[in-house]
Amino acid sequence: MSLPLVVVWLGGAFSLAHHEPDLRSWSEARLVALEDASADAPLPAADHADTSAARVETLLGEARAALFGADGAAAEAALDAAESEIEGHAELPESAFLLAELWRTRAALLLEKQPEASLALLAAAEAIDGPVATPFGATAGPRPAAGTPPDHPTRPMHGPRPGDVVFVDGALAHEPRVAPGRHHVRVVRGSRMAWAGWVTVGEGGVDLPLLGPAPCTEGDLGRVRYEEGALALPTDVQCGNWVAVRSVARDRIEIARCRASTCGPFLPWSRAWGHAFALPAQPAWPRRKSSDWLFWAAASVLASTATGIVLWQAGAFEREGPGRERFEFVPPERP
């Protein structure tokens, strides 16, 4: 048999079970094997790391307490530990909020000695978390310029697949675009985490390091659809040998042979039309004439001749004729 064909069934599980004999007869008539798409490599669950989030909150509280007590060294140490925890657990949905709070606390720590660095941190925090009100009892300090100016439009993010859910800075992104700067991005695929991390977006956008599906897996072929009387194919299918199959009647299916993102027409098939191929794959053509009849003809002539001789010798061919009269001459007696 040739290489197996991966089957993409364009219908429900019940109809697939009913048409199993049609698929089997089609494969036997063509000497091919059929198999299902293999499962994708498992992705980690998109769970919440409660312990890590609680540790960051605790460290931020210690930094604020140290800042209030004018203990700059303790505040700096707590902020460094909190930033390391945030960077190491980018899967946290609130990572952008936590980092923005960390930057605001650090900006307050640097306000007197490094006002420019303090303003830069406040601007970075506002870019990912939006503006916040001045805390009660605190003195309002300088504020950064508001928002992303209109001459800096969002840039594209490359990598997410159709069906992926993308979060930018904790908010759902309805399209894969993001403003220039540093941002937190999470890509959720189903109930699994496809990727999470921090990206710096430039003028040309950003490429997310997402792993694509392996060829002939459910992720590679799972987006094939039959819509409005036609086969809807993604442009990035990698499977090199597969078939799209759909049910058209109780006793009939249609099958299209495909390679990557290109498919032929749907052709009908029924289990009653084909049988398993039992003859040689390539019979001799034209068929060579047999000369066995010469041997048997000569043998028949010899056998007939021998039989005739034996019968002749035995007198089988002689026939008794009628009796013949005898005349005997007797001379007369002398006186």
Tell me: the pLDDT tens digits for 80-106? 999 999 999 989 999 999 999 999 999
More confident residue, 172 or 274: 172
CA distance 245 to 6: 10
pLDDT at position 312, please?
63
Residue appearing with tokens 């003809």: 297
pLDDT at position 2, please?
64
More confident residue, 303 or 139: 303
Tell me, what DSSP letter sits at residue 18? Answer: H
Tell me: the pLDDT tens digits for 308-320? 776 666 666 565 5
pTM for the model stands at 0.61
Q: How confident is the model at residue 149 (pLDDT cuts 50, 70, 90)?
A: very low
Average pLDDT over residues 144-163: 68
Q: Is 258's pLDDT higher than 50? A: yes
In three-state secondary structure terms, 254 is strand
Tell me: the pLDDT tens digits for 230-242? 899 988 899 999 9
Average pLDDT over residues 67-73: 87
Average pLDDT over residues 192-219: 88
Average pLDDT of the residues of the chain: 83
Average pLDDT over residues 113-138: 79
Q: How confident is the model at residue 140 (pLDDT cuts 50, 70, 90)?
A: very low
- Beta strand spans in the chain (E): 5-9, 34-36, 155-158, 165-168, 171-173, 177-178, 181-189, 192-201, 206-207, 225-227, 230-232, 242-249, 252-259, 262-263, 267-269
CA distance 200 to 29: 56
**296-301-304-309 Cα dihedral, nearest 10 degrees:** -140
CA distance 144 to 99: 17
Residue appearing with tokens 């498919």: 263
In three-state secondary structure terms, 215 is coil
Average pLDDT over residues 221-250: 91
142 prior amide bond cis, ω within 30: no
Q: Is 323's pLDDT higher than 50? A: yes
